[in-house]
Amino acid sequence: MDNRFEMFDLLREENKLQTILVYPAITTETDSNYHEKRKTFLNPIAIEAFVTQVSEEALIWKYYGTIPRDSKKIIAEPQWYETLKSASKITINDIEYRTLWDDSKSFNILKRENYIICVVVRADAQ
């Protein structure tokens, strides 16, 4: 018996899953002399995930204060790992978030057997 389907089916029955939009992007170089780049967002991919606010305790003890306060934690099925990994922008309740793909500690996507956890921050956060 596969626990992944039981967990997400239970969340779906309880209406705890949200539909989030994941935007992959293509980066093209517009000026070869100054290496200016332009990002073009592709069509969004809608996925269902369990979204929670990152607690203050996790910010201090788990992430050592390296992410802003208005961060979200996305818990999704493992099939969405590559989609979330390639995301340039994620929209949750009409608010834009970005992934921490450039962080050297790589705590932004945590892969487990039955689910994945992705930490995102607001796009307008410093």
Give counts: helices (H), strands (E), the chain: 3, 8
DSSP per-residue codes, 68-99:
-TT-EEEEE-GGGHHHHHTEEEEEETTEEEEE
Q: Report how many domains make up the chain.
A: 1
Query: Using one digit for the tens of pLDDT, what is the confidence trace for 73-94?
Result: 999 999 999 898 888 899 999 9
CATH of the domain at 59: 2.40.10.270
Helix (H, G, I), strand (E, B) or coil at 29: strand
Tokens (6 digits) for 11: 């969340």
Instruction: Give the pTM.
Output: 0.79
Closest to 53 in 3D by CA, of 84, 89, 105, 93: 93
Determine which helix (DSSP H) or strand (DSSP E) holds 12, and give its type and residue range.
helix 3-13
Residues (pLDDT < 70) of the chain are: 1-5, 57-67, 100-107, 125-126
Taking only the tens place, the pLDDT of each residue in 63-77 is: 555 667 788 899 999
Q: Which domain holds residue 18?
A: 3-122
Please measure the distance between the N-terminal and C-terminal CA atoms of the chain and give it in whole angstroms: 44
